[in-house]
Amino acid sequence: MKLWILRHGEAQAHARTDAERNLTEHGRAEVLRSAAQLIGQPLSAIIASPYVRAQQTAHLVRKALGFEPDIRTVPWLTPEGNPLQVLENLDSDDNVLLVSHQPLVGSLISVAQHGHQRQPEPMHTASLAELEGDFPLAGLMSLVSVKNP
């Protein structure tokens, strides 16, 4: 199984609520550079946070890749989500792209690799991490790469 974790692109500093922050033009450009890293990869699903900036990121990637299936929006990919819950929800999916936020993405990479959150991966806006493993279980995945746009 391959798991790609993409942090949303740069977003506006302010909005009515954190969940309503939109991507900036710079953020959109960052996302497109990261999406280019996914060309030719065997994605089976794009799963995204319901926050506006993550949805915008996921839709930009979907369009750039010509990915046919709909984006799955889930409540467990918000910034304060639980990395163990994320891994539990992936048990039936192979080759998935998750679009989410810090601090969740950094903690999720750490839990997937090490089984704990003590070494969260620093993830800049639109950074793309690639992990591999037989199963999406804590401590059983290997970090292949982290690419910054």
> What are the residues whose beta carbons fall under 8 Å from the beta carbon of 128, sequence distance 6 or more?
4, 5, 6, 34, 37, 38, 146, 147, 149
The reported pLDDT for the residue numbered 67 is 96
Q: Mind listing the pLDDT tens digit for each residue in 8-37?
A: 999 999 999 999 999 999 999 999 999 999
Domain boundaries, the chain: 2-147
CATH number, domain 2-147, options 3.40.50.1240, 3.90.1300.10, 1.10.1500.10, 3.40.190.10: 3.40.50.1240
The reported pLDDT for the residue numbered 45 is 96
Least confident of 77-81, 82-86, 87-91: 87-91
Mean pLDDT of 69-79: 97
The reported pLDDT for the residue numbered 92 is 67
> What are the residues whose beta carbons fall under 8 Å from the beta carbon of 61, sequence distance 6 or more?
6, 31, 34, 35, 38, 46, 67, 97, 99
Q: Mind listing the pLDDT tens digit for each residue in 96-140?
A: 999 999 999 999 999 999 999 999 999 999 999 999 999 899 999
Instruction: Decide if 74 contacts 100 (C-beta within 8 A).
Output: no
